[in-house]
Amino acid sequence: MTNISRAVLTIILALAAAPALAQAPERGDSAGSATIKAAPPVTGEQVYTQVCQACHMADAKGGSSAATIPALANNPRLATAGYPISLILKGRGAMPSLADMLAPAQIANVTGYIRTHFGNNYPVPVTAEDVTRLSMAH
């Protein structure tokens, strides 16, 4: 069998398997499977836990290893809601933009959460409309 024949056979097998892979169940291959599709985060705490905590840590004190992750705990920059919203929307440094990953309501909820937890006391509510308005300005 030539290299071209092998390549064609590989492509044909991959195309033949594609429909089966596309129809794989969301909850795993069989009963009792450990693969479960998680519900999307809704509350600020859920967004923080599922999206932000991996870098900013459970206590929001950040850290440094491959990159310096700033602390959100006791952070006076969070006094203005536009600051964290802009960072979430645009990203900066090691922080990626999350605008394509999170809906405006999720961004508003997590912004409100970090502004009222971890030693921060900035209780002015943040709305999805605030996020949308800022995203239009960028």
pLDDT tens, residue by residue, 9-48: 344 434 444 343 344 444 455 565 566 677 789 999 999 9
Q: Are 108 and 114 in contact (CB under 8 A)?
A: no
Give whole-number Cα distances, 18 to 13, 21, 24, 70, 82, in Å: 9, 5, 10, 43, 44
Residue 110 three-state SS = helix
| Per-residue pLDDT at 74 exceeds 60 | yes
Percent of the chain with pLDDT strictly greater than 70: 73
d(CA 69, CA 1): 53
pLDDT tens, residue by residue, 43-59: 999 999 999 999 999 99
